[in-house]
Structure 1
Amino acid sequence: MATEEGWHTVEDGAKLYTKTWKTEGPAKARLVFIHGFSDHCNTYNDFFPTLASKGIEVYSYDQRGWGRTVQKPSEKGNTGPTTRVLDDITSFLKTVIPCPIPLFLMGHSMGGGEVLCYTTQGPADVRQHIRGYLLEAPFVDFSPASKPSPITVFFGRLAGKLMPHHQMVNKLDVTLVSRNAAVQKQMEEDDLCHDTGTLEALAGLLDRTGALASGKIKIPDDAGEGGETRIFFAHGDSDGITNFHATKSLFDRITAKDKEFKHYEGHFHRLHDEPAPENHAFMNDVADWILARSVEPVQKSKL
């Protein structure tokens, strides 16, 4: 299994670090993956190689403000507002479309919340190339174990308007991320997982979760290829970072015909990084869902 590293320049001149996990033979599908808060695309351990071994090429990048995309300390966590985040996703997606094989878009945690927003706010001419959307423990709302107080949220949003580029550390509790001690140690010791966000970026994250949890953002039925929404949710019910019940409630409100929710009992936030062999069930579920929707061509139609 080969990998390729590179750099993608977006419209405002910023350079995003990219990485691709290639299949050994002809690929059956392509997956564009959006990572989460205090994360980067090289932390996903066996997940991306496993997908590649099953015929699914994975394309990912370090989001603005994260991972190797950060070139100086002032850039840490500076993702910009939601419009900038979604524009970066669009810019990266354009590097793989038109795609000769089915294309899927997936996000984890904060990245999952961004992908959910993309289903309704992403450009229609780009979304029409996406066969399906996948969400791993998406940030629809905070878990009770991590939820800030309403007054903290209020002043955080206010400060984000007054001092948008001011940086603030919001340290993730690694013991809530995975039950795997080796993964906890990896996240704790990785300098690229810096737990730092600008007030503007954090306010944007709060606004996205608020809109998703309240139902203000409604996932449309025609968000993907062929004018159809195909969407897969995966969440562990012991997730201490994002809220399992908020995710399930959002899923239940979706009226798309092709939707699936996978409930992982006792699992923490990083389903792909739970202790083996339990994480294999999640990785296989993702691969099976993608491959099942990669067999037949889809009738093209405008969104």
Structure 2
Amino acid sequence: MVSTEEGWHVASDGVKLYTKTWKTDGPPKAIIAFVHGFSDHYFGSPQQQTRCIDYGSCFIRNIHDKQCAIPKKQSNAKIIVLTRGWGRSVTDKASRGRTGGTEVVMSDIHSFVTSIFESIKSTTVSDHDASHSETPVFMMGHSKGGAEVLYYALNSSLDLPPIAGVLAYSPLIALHPSTRPWNLTVFLGRMASKIMPSFQLVTPLNEYLMSRDKRICEEWRRDPLCHDTGTLEGIAGMMDRALWLESEQAGKNSKYKLPIWLRGQQAFCREIRV
């Protein structure tokens, strides 16, 4: 049976970020560090969370087939970090959506992932036992979070810990042409973000695009922690990261080579090298 544990991660600048961990009965075969999407604070219902872990297990089995036998279900511990500005990491209305720019977002993710490796090392007998081949750590993100983990792995200037792979679930790489804002709107928004970076914008999302299960959609709509609020700085950074991931330069100069798993509307599970 999977148990959960709530906690707090202190970012490099002292900001407290809420975390939730789905733990296995025994030592995990792998760990998934999960980053949520826009106006979210965890990945949906318990059924969705279990499905998310199963997708991760599928990916891990594919790339570690000859290294470790991983059962199909509940084989890996899943840890969610609530990025600043979202969910229980929000302390008041003024801090809603205040994620900071890309530098802050990447720093938060790096601090969170690094702390996982430090925790593994502190609970093992030797440094050898803490190697990534023994307890692989995977990064996973949904929507905005999917783009963030991809950007972190492919374009971060930080020295990444030995991540075993990246899973991007419906990552926000590009908006559909029918929903993209006018270029003038984007330009004015970028200019405004330089002047008023913390200015908040409420951007309601269509809850019925969140899941095929209408009950889950209604739960998301009624959830007070899903506040649909972003800041000019945060939205500009989100769009910049998506544009880079959409460009031909994405990943070309990356100093790290690791497996990446992508999933959108079509269900598939395969290893992609970048």
User: TM-score under structure 1 normalisation?
Assistant: 0.73
| CA-to-aligned-CA distance 1:25-79 (integer Å, 9 cap, x gap) | 3311000001110111263532434538431100111110000000010000000
Q: For residues 253 and 31 of structure 2, what CA distance do their matches in structure 1 show? A: 23
Identity %: 40
Task: Say if 2:116 is the partner of 1:96.
Answer: yes
Does 174-183 or 157-166 show the bigger shift?
Answer: 174-183
The question of whether the paired residues in 1 share the 8 Å contact of 2:165 and 2:260 is answered with yes
| CA-to-aligned-CA distance 1:167-199 (integer Å, 9 cap, x gap) | 001111112222221121011111111110010
The 5 Å alignment of 1:116-135 reads: 116-122=150-156, 125-127=159-161, 129-135=162-168
Match of 1:109 among 117, 121, 143: 143
Query: Which amino acid in structure 1 is aligned with residue 13 of structure 2?
Result: D
Alignment match, 2:77: 57
Match of 1:212 among 225, 239, 245: 245
Match of 2:99 among 58, 76, 79: 79
Structure 1 residue runs without a partner (length 5+): 237-262, 265-281, 290-303
Q: How far did 1:220 drift?
A: 5.4
Does 156-165 or 78-87 show the bigger shift?
Answer: 156-165
Query: Which amino acid in structure 1 is aligned with residue 98 of structure 2?
Result: N
Q: How far did 1:140 drift?
A: 0.6
User: TM-score under structure 2 normalisation?
Assistant: 0.80
| CA-to-aligned-CA distance 1:204-241 (integer Å, 9 cap, x gap) | 11111111112343255652xxxx311111011xxxxx
Q: For residues 158 and 218 of structure 2, what CA distance do their matches in structure 1 show? A: 41
Alignment match, 1:70: 90
Alignment match, 1:27: 28
Q: For residues 137 and 14 of structure 2, what CA distance do their matches in structure 1 show? A: 26
Q: For residues 145 and 86 of structure 2, what CA distance do their matches in structure 1 show? A: 12
Alignment match, 1:142: 175
Superposed CA RMSD: 2.1
Structure 2 residue runs without a partner (length 5+): 55-72, 121-129
Cα separation, partners in 2 of 1:109 and 1:42, compared to 1, 3 Å: closer
Q: For residues 251 and 182 of structure 2, what CA distance do their matches in structure 1 show? A: 25
Q: For residues 252 and 216 of structure 2, what CA distance do their matches in structure 1 show? A: 33
